Amino acid sequence: MAPNAAAAKVVGQVATDMELEVSSGGKTSTVQLLSLREPGQALVVDFFAPWCKACPAAAKKLEELAESYNDRCKFVLVCVDGGADEARAFAEEHGIRRCVAASVVDEDAPQDYGVSGLPHHTVIGPDGKVFRNYEVDLPKDLESLFSTGEAEEQLVPKKSRVSDEFKRLEKEDPILKENPQRWVMFPLKYTEVWEMYKKHEASFWTAEEIDLAQDNKDWANLNEGEQHFVKHVLAFFAASDGIVLENLAAQFSSEVQIPEARAFYGFQMAMENIHSETYSLLIEQYIKDPKERDVLFDAIHTMPAVREKAQWAIQWMNRESSFAERIVAFAAVEGILFSGSFCAIFWLKKRGMMPGLTFSNELISRDEGLHADFACLIYQMLQHKLPEEIVHDIIRGAVEVERKFICDALSCDLVGMNKGVVPLHSSAKDTMRYVAVLAQMVWLSGAVRTNDSQKDLMQTESLYGDINEIKGLKDRSLGDARKQLTRPNDEAERALDQLEHLMKKVAYSRGDANLWKMPLAQAVQTRGNDGKTLLHEASEGAWQGDLLLKALVLLGLDVNSRDALGRTPLCHAAASCPTSSSVGLAIKALIALGADKHIACNGKIPGEAAQVAMNHFWRYSQMRERCREVVLFFKHGY
C-alpha cells in the first residue's frame, strides 16, 4: 500500500492511542496520547525527529497555532527517533512552550497513523476520530473541523416530552394568540408589563458614559490568572448578547402579542446592542495583540467554555419546544448564565481596580436582572405552567453549564475573593454557591411558582443543597452542632458559618457572652432590649447570608414574630431597602419561608414601608432605585 494510502485509510476511524514518555523537571513520566486533551478538545499531533531539517519550522507553526487555539485544541510533538530528553531538548532549542513534547515508547506505534516521512501531522477531532492525516492544511483544517462540529450541534433542537402538548395549549393563550389590537399601545391592558417597560426606559445609558482612562494601568497590574478570567468573561459576554438579541428579534418579540411586552422587548434589544458594543470596546481596550483579540471576538468558535454556554442558549432558539420552556430557559440565561461572571467582576470593584469595567458591570448586571425578572413575569402570565420536573431540568442544565464555565474561567482562586460575602464571593467554589442561590431566586421570582412557596424553596434546595439537617440540632450548642453533622454537607456547614457570624455580631452588641453556650433553639430565641430576635437582626441592613434565614426558621423562630415596636422581620427588610443592595433576595427568601406581606407594622404593611423609604430618599438615585425595586416586588411580585 502506498504511504499516502496508508495514512488516508485511518481518516474517519477512531484514533489509536499510544504510550508516550514526557521529560519534565529531571523526571520522566509515561502518558497516553489521547489523555493529553481535555473533553471536547481536538488534538493535533506532529510526528518529528531531531535530525529532520523541516521539523523545526513545522513545530514553530504549531506553537503559533497553540496560542490561538489553546482552549479548543491540544498540540503534541511526538519524537519518533529519540527519547523523552531529546524531545524536551528539541522543544527548548526552538522555543516551543505551549506544545507538549514527548517521545514514543513503542517505535512501531506511529505506523498506526501511516507515518513514513517527517514531519507528519494528524488531526483528531473532539469525537476521538481522525479528521485529517498526513495531508493536513493548518489552520484551515482546524476551522473546518470546528465549524463542522458546531453545525452538527445546532441541528439538534431542544425538545421535551411535553413540548408538543404545550405548543397546542399555547395557541389559545391570551398573550400568545393573534391579537388584532397589537398595533396600538393604548389603552393599556397589562399595567405590570407597562411598568417594567417604563422602568427599563428610565435606566437607559450608552457606551460613551464608560470612562476607561484608569483601566489600562490596572490591567497591567493584574496577574496572568486574573487576566485569564477577565478575558473569558468578556469573550462570553461579547458573544452572548448577540444570541439574546437574535432570540428576541426572531422569536419572542413576534410570538408575544401584547403591545406592552413588545415595547419592553424593543427596548431590551436596544440595550443588548449597547451591552455588546461595551464588551467589544473593553476587549479592544485591554487586548493589544490583534490575533488574541480576534480569538476573543470569535470565542464561540475558539474557546470551549464559552462555546458550551453559547450552545446551551442556542439550543432553545427554535420553536420545536414550547414558548413556556423557552421563556424559562432564557430567564435562566439572563439570571444564571451571566451570574458567575458578574460576581467575579464585582470582586475587582472591591479591590478598587478597573473602574470602567466594574461600572459597566453594574449597569449591565442591573439590566440583565431586569430582563430575567421580565421573563419570569411573562411566564407567570401564561395560562398553563410547565410540570415541575421540566423546569428542574432547565434550571439544573443552566447551573451545570455555569459551573463548568466558572471552573474554567476561575481556574485559579483569585487572592482575597473568597473572603467576602455575596455577591463578593470568588473562588470558583464560592462563586458557584452564589450561582446556586441565584438559581433559587429565578425559581422564586416566578419561573416555577406554585401556590405553596414554602414547597418551592424546599424543592429548589433539594437540587442545589439541603440544610434541613440543622433542624435536628436544636438542642446542641453551635460548637457541638458542627460535630454532629451526620455526613459531609457543605450547605449545612455554610449555614452554621453564617449563623456564627450573626451570633458574634449580636453577642457583641448585647454584651451576652453566654450565647455560644446555649442550645441553638434557645440562642436564636433570645431578644435584645429592642425585642429583636436573631431573625429580625438577619433581615435588616446587609443580608447576612443566603442560607441563614432558613436555618433560623428551622431552629424554631417564627418568621412573622414581632419586636418591641411591633415590626416583623419582613418589615425590617423592607425598611432597610435604601442601605442594602441585597435586601431583595432577603425579602424573597422570607416570603418563601412563610412571611406574610399583609401584616402591618406601625400601621404600614412592608410594601408601604418601602414606599415611605423611597419617598424619603428621592434625591439619591441609587437608594431610590433599590427601594423602587422592592416596592414593585410587593406590588406585582417581580
**Identity (one letter) of the amino acid at 385?**
K
How far, in Å, CA of 468 to CA of 457, rounded?
A: 12
- Cα dihedral sign, 431-436-439-445: negative
Q: Are 300 and 312 in contact (CB under 8 A)?
A: no
Write phi, then psi, for 150 (nearest 5 degrees).
Answer: -70, -40
How far, in Å, CA of 537 to CA of 515, rounded?
A: 15
How far, in Å, CA of 39 to CA of 460, rounded?
A: 29
Strand partners, 124: 43, 130
Q: Are 47 and 70 in contact (CB under 8 A)?
A: no
Q: Are 284 and 293 in contact (CB under 8 A)?
A: yes
How far, in Å, CA of 563 to CA of 531, rounded?
A: 4
How far, in Å, CA of 632 to CA of 31, rounded?
A: 59
Q: Distances from the Cα of 620 to the Cαs of 159, 346, 612, 617, 628, in angstroms?
A: 47, 22, 14, 6, 12
Longest dimension (CA), the chain: 94
Q: What share of the chain is helix, strand, coil (3-state, %, to 5)?
A: 60, 5, 35
- Cα dihedral sign, 64-65-69-75: negative
Assigned C-alpha cell, 474: 436544636
CA angle 299, 301, 303 (to 5 degrees): 50
Q: Are 501 and 545 in contact (CB under 8 A)?
A: yes
Q: Are 304 and 38 in contact (CB under 8 A)?
A: yes
Write phi, then psi, for 582 (nearest 5 degrees).
Answer: -110, 10
Q: Are 431 and 243 in contact (CB under 8 A)?
A: no
DSSP 601: B
Q: Are 228 and 409 in contact (CB under 8 A)?
A: yes
Specify whether 69 is catalytic: no
Query: Position of cell 523537571?
Result: 25
- In sequence order, which residues have a C-beta less than 8 Å from that of residue 325 and are 6 or more positions away? 158, 160, 162, 163, 166, 316, 386, 390, 394
Residue 57 burial (CB < 10 Å; 0-12/13-18/19+)?
A: exposed
**Identity (one letter) of the amino acid at 621?**
S
- Closest residue by Cα to residue 345 from 268, 410, 419, 441: 410
Q: Which of 190, 197, 279, 638 is catalytic?
A: 279
- In sequence order, which residues have a C-beta less than 8 Å from that of residue 84 and are 6 or more positions away? 21, 22, 23, 28, 102, 103
How far, in Å, CA of 340 to CA of 432, rounded?
A: 7
For the chain, the first-to-last Cα distance in angstroms comes to 71
Instruction: Convert 193-209 to b/e letters by CB count within 10 Å (16 or more is b).
Output: bbbbbebbeeeebebee
Enzyme catalytic residues: 279
